[in-house]
Structure 1
Amino acid sequence: MTSLSSRLSQRMLRLPPPLTRDLTIERDLRVPLRDGTVLLADRWSPRSGGDGLPTALLRIPYGRAGMIAAQLVRPLAERGFQVLIQSTRGTFGSGGAFDPLRCEREDGIDTLNWLVAQPWCGESVVLTGGSYLGFAQWAVADAVPPQVKAVIPAVSESAFTLGFLRGDAFSLEATLSWGLQVADQERPFALLRQLGRIRKERRAWYTLPLSEADLAANGRRSDYFQNVLAHEADSPFWQVIDHSRRVPDITVPVSSVGGWFDIFLPGQLRDFRVLQEAGRTARVTIGPWAHISMGAGQVAAAEALDFGLALARGEKPADRAPVRLFVMGAEKWRDFPTWPPPGYTPRRFHLQPNGALSPDAPVESAPDTYRYDPADPTPAVGGVRMAVGVRSGRVDNTALEARPDVVTYTTPVLDKDTEVIGEVSAEIWFRSSLPYADVFVRLCDVDEEGRSTNVCDGLAGLTDADTITCATVQLWPTAHLFKRGHRIRVQISSGAFPRYNRNPGTGTPRATAQTLHPATQQIHHTPTHPSTLTLPTREPN
């Protein structure tokens, strides 16, 4: 069984053959913290010669056994590391109460101080892991002992989940799904419970008031979900989990891995840019992935071995550019010196009458009108998603664009390739019959057969929408080649549910709103109200 697990992880992660498959596991090591709490950890190492090897540290709230160990721990322990995997506070035998995200700095620093004092630890430590495990790295990366030689966070960022909690763009799907997952994860048959809850969870998205959604899904409260409903991103309550201010002080080399459809991408690229501007050793790899992706896992495992293990051994990692991006459309990897890459010029495309999109200045025209009904909300289709059983990433948008609450604007057929890499934004002049409304903007690539595929998107909320107002929408960053013969399209609607919560149109706090009001929406595109999409473009050589 051990050999099968080893070979399966090797194949799934596309790893070279191991140095050994013969490992030993010391379970339930007790790690004391400053407040007297004890956390449990398992040490994996080669049965022969494990003491003194570089140590990979993973701090995880999801348990230390099963598929977690097979995919995260065993591959590293078989290829030059010994690995310490620790259950975070209040999870899977570790003492204290699980207070998601809020204790990882102090607990992580205490764990590192304990680790480097162990006689078997050796002289080098590497921090690795994705998502919550990545956040646990960002929480301590500016305060690590000198034995830490590399930090390798994947699909993560230093202000983890705060981007979900904006008052004007609340991420319902991710917060409810994750809150339900961690609330149930230690109950018997947790995975089966999670799979069996999918239908209830989807119904719970529609629950009013939202404060009852966790009960509707599984009959139990989720402390995390209740906290995100009660406190917006700028609340003092969340200050303890915002480590973005610490990023400039990180001196240990960082290699991060992300995806163009990952929920944490904007924050991850912000962190990389801060590190680079501070003159730190940092690199980033972004692929065509969503948050839960085998591709991201493969690259993260490779970075732990190629980047982390080399530095842990006092060697120089193989040379590569600081920024490695998968350019969608071209379907190729490209290297760049910085993010955003140099040589890409912001180019404004204006919304025009009759669904046209053009660099030309707009002419006088009547606004385009549609009706948004939060009782039948515009659905999220592909793109940036994180929930069990939903499809993320690039998908066919034909059915979405056929809805009467989605308006599209499209360029003529391109006579040459147009490459877009960098930050994408839109300014949409908008008016609603209600003072509260959302503006969702999506960039799409339309191929020769007319199929429209999403590239990136974003949403902004308005609180004075009953007057003509400019909605500034920051879309997800991207790297995409629009090929000659294709067309560039922008979609505009008033939601992407359940990725974002429905805007009820009332201004009532999201936790307590119970009444939904439909609205008539207008998109303006005139010389005095020029709605635009701004793309960082370059024509490939």
Structure 2
Amino acid sequence: MLRAAQISAAALMIAALAAPIAAQTDPMTPDKVDVYDPARPQADYVRKEVMIPMRDGVKLFTVIVMRKGTSHGPILLTRTPYDAGKATSRNRSQKIEEILPVMDADFVNDGYIRVYQDVRGLKGSEGDYVMTRPLRGPLNKTDVDNSTDAYDTIDWLVKNVPETNGKVAITGSSYPGFTSLMALIDPHPALKAAVPQSPMVDGWMGDDWFHNGAFRNFGFGYSLSQTAKKGGGAIPMGNGDEYTTMLNAGSAGDFARAYGLDAFPSVRKLLEHPAYDPYWQEQAVDKLLARRTLTVPTMLVVGQWDQEDSYGAPAVYKALEPQDKKNDMVSLVIGPWRHSGVNYEGRSLGDLQFEGDTGRQFRVGTMKPFLDHYLKDNPPAGYTMPGSLTYATGIDKWETRAKWPGGTPTPLYLGASYSLSWAKPAAAGSDSYVSDPAKPVPYLPRPIHQDQNEAWRTWLVKDQRFVDGRPDVLTYVTPVLDKDVHIAGQPMVDLFAATSGTDSDWVVKLIDVYPEENTANPVMAGYELPIGIDIFRGRYAHGFDKPQALTPGKAENYKFGLPNVNHVFKPGHRIMVQIQSSLFPVYDRNPQTYVPSIFDAKPGDYKPATQSVQYGAAGASAIWLPIVK
């Protein structure tokens, strides 16, 4: 037996040695491979890249992501200029929650199909990129725009994604908020709901490019990063103080020309349209939507301290709410966030701390039930759409209302000795300061580096003590409050002011002043927290489309809104109003000498001016606060 086993083992060894050796890879085989799919067989998701044809033959790069096993899933669509491929492959993971943005997890884990698409002309999509492509009409003689592209995309998805139930919602923040709104114009029948977040709505009135006529310098960098095929990114002006760099450049137009930005069509469009002419009016999305009947339930979202697009969502709500007879078609949400902060952890903003993760509170507690109601085949019963949902800062509490605003306009008057009072001063008076364009008031403590994200994202909650006391900043303050002052709505500026120049800017800040002693939260002791900041360019006192020189020494009545807020000024706090004539370099400098276009102002046009703010009698300057009784 043993002899036989030994013979068999030897035979097997001989056979193995006789077997041919597997072919080895030639040392000179090229090492490049065509593609590697990071979604391995063990992945818990399916990720597909497709090119969806539009009606003019252009194909748009689109990524479809869903958990394995999904069926009858609603589609949640985002149309973006910020790279659909990156948005859907954030980590080389085999888990769906890891490859998608954090805001997507609760949706894909509940059967939603997540779709991201590159807008026409960017990243993987074909066609020409027009930064804010106008609607078909006076400014766009083609047959396509962001509305038709959304329609054609949705049509393809419901016909070619077998895992869907045929119901689609659109969402996204900032630019994708704009594309979400554009999808509501002539919407596809399968579009059942929309959640535009921090949308760019009117780039001149109060969103990205201008605020009430004052130009926002950061728009140059955005144009460079979005439209340069090569060499884009940050403007190459070094690492020094941007305040100094931009001041030395001269006008905003001179700055653009110095860095070659005037070669960009998107920049030239800004420089060529400094006033609110038809170029801007025909692109205002709130006006476009107001001309149509809203057929898609829409939840508009914005951050109370949105440093980029504070105007858009409330403007669209104001335009559409009159159509909402049953209070079930349009809702406004204001959270304690920066721009797009709704999609991130919302426990804090700068030095402010909130009760829990306010971003996820909204996404899970409000946004998802809204979308479930309109997109799920068998949605939970009993859903009611809030007319408005806003976070009351100061008391850290979400509040719902049938309508917005929630408060009654009540004037808080400027008075003698830099006071603020609920009673209109009987005697007239004025306070003055000298505004010098050579020494503009900074919007942040210097040195300023706007490309540092945290500084830019939180500048609207920056403690204003860094400018309080400057000779070119007027500060008015109430006595210490003995009870809550709750505001819910849009504070309105009602300013009577004159200048010795022929043009002027007016910056107004509404501020919550914390007690000087605060043992429980020392960081906030004495803090001057901005509740709302905005600017008005004086040349538009008699019409945004009709710039004209101011008459030196003649008081004008400037009326404009601050951002919409829900805030409670607590007992022991004080209410403050600051007034100044520059906010640099976030806004360009007004030369205070009237010129046809400030973009073309010459060095000699920039002159100091004496600014006079009136109070009492016929010139009763005030901030109208939406007081909740």
CA distance 1:241–1:297, shift in 2 (3 Å): farther
Structure 1 gaps of 5+ residues are: 7-19
Whether 2:332 is the aligned partner of 1:256: answer no
Partner of 2:409: 346
8 A Cα contact 1:201 1:217, kept in partner: no
Listed one character per residue, the Cα deviations across residues 117-149 of structure 1 (whole Å, up to 9, x for unaligned) are: 325243211111111111111112142222111
CA distance 1:210–1:41, shift in 2 (3 Å): same
TM-score calculated relative to the size of structure 1: 0.86
Q: Of the candidates 60, 83, 86, which is equivalent to residue 39 of structure 1?
A: 60
Aligned pairs (5 A) from 1:128-207: 128-159=171-202, 163-164=206-207, 168-184=212-228, 187=230, 205-206=246-247, 207=249
The one-letter amino acid of 2:126's match is: G
In 2, distance between residues paired with 1:422 and 1:480?
9
Whether 2:252 is the aligned partner of 1:231: answer no
Partner of 1:23: 45
Whether 2:451 is the aligned partner of 1:430: answer no
8 A Cα contact 1:290 1:392, kept in partner: no
Partner of 1:277: 322
Cα distance, 1:182 vs. partner? 1.0
What SS class does the counterpart of residue 585 from structure 2 fall into? coil
8 A Cα contact 2:591 2:607, kept in partner: yes
My pick for the range that moved more, 198-207 or 511-520, is 198-207
Aligned pairs (5 A) from 1:5-154: 22-27=44-49, 29-49=50-70, 52-67=72-87, 70-71=100-101, 75=105, 76-102=107-133, 103-120=145-162, 121-154=164-197
TM-score calculated relative to the size of structure 2: 0.74
Cα distance, 1:112 vs. partner? 2.3
8 A Cα contact 2:204 2:212, kept in partner: no
RMSD between aligned residues: 3.1
Partner of 2:610: 520
In 1, distance between residues paired with 2:415 and 2:506?
18
Cα distance, 1:492 vs. partner? 0.7
Listed one character per residue, the Cα deviations across residues 16-60 of structure 1 (whole Å, up to 9, x for unaligned) are: xxxx97112112x1222222222111111223335x421111111
Cα distance, 1:312 vs. partner? 1.0
8 A Cα contact 1:150 1:308, kept in partner: yes
Q: Of the candidates 514, 529, 540, which is equivalent to residue 453 of structure 1?
A: 529
Structure 2 gaps of 5+ residues are: 1-37, 90-99, 134-144, 347-357, 517-525, 540-549
What SS class does the counterpart of residue 108 from structure 1 fall into? helix
Cα distance, 1:219 vs. partner? 6.8
Listed one character per residue, the Cα deviations across residues 78-114 of structure 1 (whole Å, up to 9, x for unaligned) are: 4311222111111012111210121312322222232
The one-letter amino acid of 2:303's match is: G
8 A Cα contact 2:299 2:332, kept in partner: yes
Partner of 1:331: 396
Q: Of the candidates 358, 363, 371, which is equivalent to residue 421 of structure 2?
A: 358
Percent identical residues: 25
In 1, distance between residues paired with 2:436 and 2:87?
42
Partner of 2:599: 511
Partner of 1:12: none
8 A Cα contact 2:473 2:579, kept in partner: yes
CA distance 1:494–1:202, shift in 2 (3 Å): closer
Cα distance, 1:271 vs. partner? 1.6
Listed one character per residue, the Cα deviations across residues 321-349 of structure 1 (whole Å, up to 9, x for unaligned) are: 321111111222111111012xx332212
In 1, distance between residues paired with 2:237 and 2:219?
19
What SS class does the counterpart of residue 535 from structure 1 fall into? strand
CA distance 1:465–1:472, shift in 2 (3 Å): farther
CA distance 1:393–1:249, shift in 2 (3 Å): same
Q: Of the candidates 576, 586, 597, which is equivalent to residue 489 of structure 1?
A: 576
CA distance 1:155–1:278, shift in 2 (3 Å): same
My pick for the range that moved more, 114-123 or 419-428, is 114-123
In 2, distance between residues paired with 1:90 and 1:503?
36
Partner of 1:13: none
What SS class does the counterpart of residue 241 from structure 1 fall into? coil
Partner of 1:498: 585
Cα distance, 1:201 vs. partner? 6.3
Q: Of the candidates 301, 321, 345, which is equivalent to residue 386 of structure 2?
A: 321
How many matched pairs? 513
Whether 2:371 is the aligned partner of 1:308: answer yes
8 A Cα contact 2:214 2:537, kept in partner: no
